[in-house]
Amino acid sequence: MFSRLFSPITVHAHCDLPCGVYDPAQARIEAESVKAICEKYQASSDEVFRTRAIQIKEERSELVKHHLWVLWTDYFKPPHFESYSQLHQLFNEATKLAGAGGTKSSMDPAVAEQLLGKIEAISKIFWETKQG
């Protein structure tokens, strides 16, 4: 009992705490990985490699969604959505492209490229909001 009271506590956190460290580059990097994996998958006939590629691509797609959700829910505030009326739609489309209807269910590099386009549009708005 005594050792439990004084044992170290492990706490997990994300940068969505008040530290204010946000950057759409995290989502972009994972999306670039998704696209590269799709391209390598298409170029390979090795079934073991292709199976592993699918698994890794799905993990990376989930990370894209996570990074987008952090930006959407924690960084962007009502004034941003008022100034950029397309922002909710961009996030909705991007997270769907990273989800089951997009890169999680497709090995097509073109789908990953569409995702990268949405992330780029979000990134442009993000950096504009950082200027003001």
Q: Is there a contact between 76 and 115 (Cβ–Cβ < 8 Å)?
A: no
Q: Which tokens hold the place of 84?
A: 């950029």
pTM of this prediction? 0.84
CATH numbers and ranges of domains, the chain? 22-131 (1.20.120.400)
The two counts, helices (H) then strands (E), for the chain are 6, 0
* Residues 18-70 pLDDT 10s: 556 799 999 999 999 999 999 999 999 999 999 999 999 999 999 999 999 99
Rg of the chain in Å (alpha carbons): 18
Q: What backbone phi and psi angles, to 5 degrees, belong to 93?
A: -65, -40
Residues whose CB is less than 8 angstroms from the CB of residue 97 and which lie 6 or more positions away in sequence, other chains included: 103, 111, 114, 115, 118
